[in-house]
Chain A
Amino acid sequence: MKFGIVVFPGSNCDHDVYHVAKHVLGQEAAFLWHKDASFAGIDCVVLPGGFAHGDYLRCGAMARFSPIMKAVEGFAARGGLVFGICNGFQVLAEAGLLPGALVRNAGLQYVCRDVYLRSERQDTPFTARLKQGAVLKIPIGHGEGCYYAPEEMLKELEERRQVVFRYCDAAGQVTAESNPNGSLRSIAGVCNERGNIMGMMPHPDRCAEEVLGSADGRRIFESILHGWQPARRLRI
């Protein structure tokens, strides 16, 4: 399988995702420069963490206008897998490819630490190897990760089962204390209706090896790998 990792000016976790794809999973990986727009041979596009274009305006607000975003949209429309992590999630939300918005953390500060996530559904390409209700220990590192959507939209998201991950405690209970940034309904990750685009604030790329304190994030990447069928590789 071949992962394509988008590099915006200011992407910081591009190398981290590359390392997981290439050296932890043993798959192919390539960087995709934001001014280019060719996804030839790519099976899954990852938008990594970082501060695309410096994020001086609003997270992702500039990056969504990068030439590559049109290509990402087309790739997703043809059913390609698109995975946004942290800043990548913010960019996908800004671009309207995922519902909702990521706003300033309730505590008003950047937070870097481990949290727990509950997997809300198994039937997505990103969670196939996670049982529904599975609890993951995973790091966050963001200042603007508070998930926000209007009440109507939240209802719709729940009905269509688009909430993929919620913040929870070690036992899997969703509580106010275990929500690190004030996200509405403790939402940590969502997908589009079709289920081929997913964004999450926590960093599975930071916990894909035991030596880093948790390998739970690896299961998300393994899910992507698990569901991949070479015959279905998209022709771009």
Chain B
Amino acid sequence: MSREPDVGRELALQHGLTGEEYERAVAALGRTPTYTELGIFSVMWSEHCSYKSSRVHLKNLPTEGPRIVQGPGENAGIVDIGSGIAAVFKMESHNHPSYVEPYQGAATGVGGILRDIFTMGARPIASLDSLRFGALDHPRTRYLVGGVVAGIAGYGNSIGVPTVGGEVAFHPSYNGNILVNVFSVGIARRDKIHRGVAAGLANPVIYVGSRTGRDGIHGASRLASSEFDAASESKRPTVQVGDPFTEKLLLEACLEAMKQPGQVVGIQDMGAAGLTCSTVEMAARAGAGMEIDLDNVPLREEGMTPYDIMLSESQERMLLVATPATERRVRDIFEKWDLEASVIGRVTDTGRVKVISKGRIVADMPAEALVDGAPRYRRPSARPAWQETVQALRLQEVPDLADGNEALIRLLAAPNLCSRQAIYQTYDHMVRTNTVVRPGSDAAVIRLKGTERALALAVDCNSRYCHLDPAEGARLAVAEAARNIACAGGVPIGTTDCLNFGNPEKPEVMWQFEESIKGIAEACRALAAPIVGGNVSFYNETEGKSIHPTPTIAVVGLLEDVRGALTQWFRREGDLIFLLGDAEASLAGSEYLALVHGREAGRPAAVELAREMALHEALRGARDAGLIASAHDCSEGGLAFALLECCISGPGGAVGAETRLEGKGRLDALLFGEAPSRVIVSAPPESRARLEHAGGSAGVPVRLLGRVGGIRLTVSVGGTRVVDLDVARARSAWSAALEEHLRG
């Protein structure tokens, strides 16, 4: 073994710690750290692991509710869904690895979030992906889309967890920094839930899963916690390599081990910062200590130093604590699944993590100091000077339309609006046979076998809104995700977020972050969808240029009766079409304005949260009373595009509609303007009176727009036909567009 470098301030700086942070580390230990200890400090106190810039703000998020079993702080959040079962879910980012190595980056993103779910004793039943790429004409975009999508498919399909939905958006602000946010939800019996605690003095600490190699060393600190520059390509070795087959075995073996009560005391996956993070966090959570001997860690290669072993981010590994009585049985289960299981240490009561290698103590650190003792920053924030400029929109400079047909044809093939079928068809979205509403509707619906119930899942964020007005954009993201749940017939029960931002050391970025937190907190409170966990991803910048602020929001909803699940498309000729909510909308920040006029400006229409909630309740009431046949959220692309989607997105083919809109002012705003709190529903004619009455008593406007039928979508305004499209042709163009864009 080569001699270890001398530890001092200089080396600490090279590890990404600041001078002050190094002093803090020395103070926490009462001496100069060893080389291994310095490595441990640098990853535990990295932005990615410590949340040092975000923690003071995250505490403002609402995290409590009647169904919440476990809020933020564990591997995943837990929400009670009745009958003794709980939904366990979380969303995480894998942005930088996916940019550097798209296939493995995205694949290990899926693997990481799945481990977070099954480590709690839950079987993962569905995943969603929220993906953001640069402009299609950027030279790297197609390569990245291909790699990321193939990586998600490769991992998710192989491990047998369906990918049931998500979102894909293209915008130049992601040219040098794509976003890959992966959500997963699992189901556990409430009495089988496990946590990441190292409890019980002298209990054995067991390492299970893949062997440890040199891959991913400093993934969390150097890759995830710094900006990109020209040299980022050289960080490819910090990206881990995924093996879904091993993870499948690990999943089955862990769930089998956790089935017997008391067999496993605590369990945690080795994700970011690997063995370091799992030992330290498990000890800290239990207020206990841990002593491990690295000689017992199964290694993939020779010559690995204690530093390498502690910092490796090799995938498909877990750390668990059993008892002396259950150790043998646990090891037998892993042996059955042909997995390594090695006792590497014992739980102690010292409050310290002691690491031994070849009979020598290489680290001996207080667990508490590494977790709760991590630095906290309230970084300076300032509203950017350009905020005012982008919010200004002089519509008189934008020519209005005389006819909507041509613009609608452009919108239906636009990268951000066309069908995502080309992507989701490569994901197995049906395995486990629970998928009642498949990808392609507002929310996916997953039935819960053995009950009448189902979960509705949706993930949303319009980062253009967030760029123009971060607080409003965040409120709108929560409102839209919750609205999508309501459209599917569900009641929100919990939220998880993935907060993707630029460099937090820049005051403008910090301001965007603070504003977003404010917006999320308000909306989650008002819509009764508390945050149960999530993740913050800072440093999403390349060459000093930050991405649009992108607080991705995933909301989980509950349906008491799976048969009440709704989809977005029109179902029957002769049904009437209604708009629930106000017809008024704004071109500010709209997809239309960006696509057709190349402008991203204005303040997006604000959401009134009480009205939003009233809409959701009216919608659910109408659904419960059996009044409506379909419901579709009216979002990007406005009312005209939403109507078209209702006509062309059904699995059975296209169906026409004859509609009439009323409105003063600009035609482009009426057709393509965007606004929250609007839903298009279809209903049989006999429902009309009851639907209007229900809307009236809830204070939600109900406007008759027209009737389903025929082979064309027509929209008339003031007696003039402004849209008249053959829906079958529109459907083929909309379905084929993404593949054509990606082929180039």
Contacts and interface: CB of A to CB of B under 8 A. Distances in A.
Interface string B160-196: 1000000000000000000000000000000000000
A232 interface: no
A19 B427 contact: no
A58 to B, nearest CB: 14
Nearest to B433: A16
B651 interface: yes
A213 B439 CA distance: 13
A91 B306 CA distance: 43
A212 B436 contact: yes
B435 A19 contact: no
Interface stretch (B242-250, B383-391, B724-732): B242-250
Interface stretch (B151-159, B325-333, B568-576): B151-159
Contacts of A53: 245
Interface stretch (A6-14, A146-154, A155-163, A219-227): A6-14
Contacts of A16: 431-433
Interface stretch (A92-100, A107-115, A171-179): A107-115
A15 B124 CA distance: 13
A203 B160 contact: no
A50 B563 CA distance: 29
Interface residues of B, number: 31
Given A19-B449, A56-B245, 6 more contacts: A12-B248, A15-B432, A54-B248, A112-B425, A141-B430, A143-B157
B404 to A, nearest CB: 32
B430 A12 contact: no
Contact of B433 (A109, A114, A205): A205
Nearest to B450: A23
B433 A19 contact: yes
A118 B159 CA distance: 30
A50 B160 CA distance: 7
A75 to B, nearest CB: 23
Contacts of B248: 9-10, 12, 51, 54
B427 A112 contact: yes
Contacts of A231: none
Contacts of A111: 425-426
A4 interface: no
Interface string A202-215: 01011011011100
Contact of A139 (B159, B246, B338, B430): B430
Interface residues of A, number: 33
Contacts of A213: 436, 438, 651
B346 interface: no
A12 B438 CA distance: 19
A84 interface: no
B426 A109 contact: yes
Given A9-B337, A12-B159, A50-B160, A211 B430 contact: no
**Residue of A10, A15, A20 ringed by the most chain B CB atoms within 10 A:** A10
Contacts of A12: 159-160, 248, 431-432
B426 A211 contact: no
Given A12-B160, A110-B153, A114-B651, A51 B245 contact: yes
Nearest to B436: A211
A125 interface: no
B433 to A, nearest CB: 5
A49 interface: yes
B562 interface: yes
A13 B153 CA distance: 17
B729 to A, nearest CB: 17
B308 interface: no
B431 A13 contact: yes
A194 B425 CA distance: 36
Give the interface centre of B425, B436, B449 by most chain A CB atoms within 10 Å. Answer: B425
A20 B243 CA distance: 30
A12 B153 CA distance: 14
Contacts, number: 85
Contacts of A211: 436, 447, 562-563
Interface in B329-383: 337-338
Chain A, interface SS category = mixed
B449 to A, nearest CB: 7
Contacts of B159: 12
B429 interface: yes
A51 B153 CA distance: 13
Given A54-B244, A212-B435, A110 B651 contact: no
Contact of B249 (A9, A23, A139, A208): A9
A15 B425 CA distance: 22
A49 B431 contact: yes
A91 B157 CA distance: 18
13 contacts: A10-B245, A10-B248, A12-B159, A16-B432, A19-B433, A20-B433, A51-B245, A53-B245, A54-B243, A54-B245, A112-B427, A139-B430, A141-B430
Nearest to A51: B158
Contact of A206 (B157, B160, B430, B562): B430
Contacts of A15: 432
Which of B158, B337, B447, B651 gathers most chain A CB within 10 Å?
Answer: B158
A236 B429 CA distance: 38
Contacts of A114: 651
A204 to B, nearest CB: 11
Contacts of A110: 153, 157, 426-428
Contact of B430 (A20, A50, A203): A203
Contact of B338 (A9, A56, A206): A9
A177 to B, nearest CB: 13
- Residue of B159, B424, B562 ringed by the most chain A CB atoms within 10 A: B159
Nearest to B243: A54
Q: 6 tightest A-B contacts by CB?
A: A12-B160, A54-B245, A16-B433, A51-B158, A141-B428, A110-B426
B22 to A, nearest CB: 44
Interface in A57-114: 109-114
Contacts of B447: 211
A49 to B, nearest CB: 7
B430 A112 contact: yes
Contacts of A113: 425
- Count chain A CB atoms within 10 A of each CB in B245, B249, B430, B562 and give the residue with the most: B430
Nearest to A205: B433
A112 B438 CA distance: 11
Nearest to A12: B160
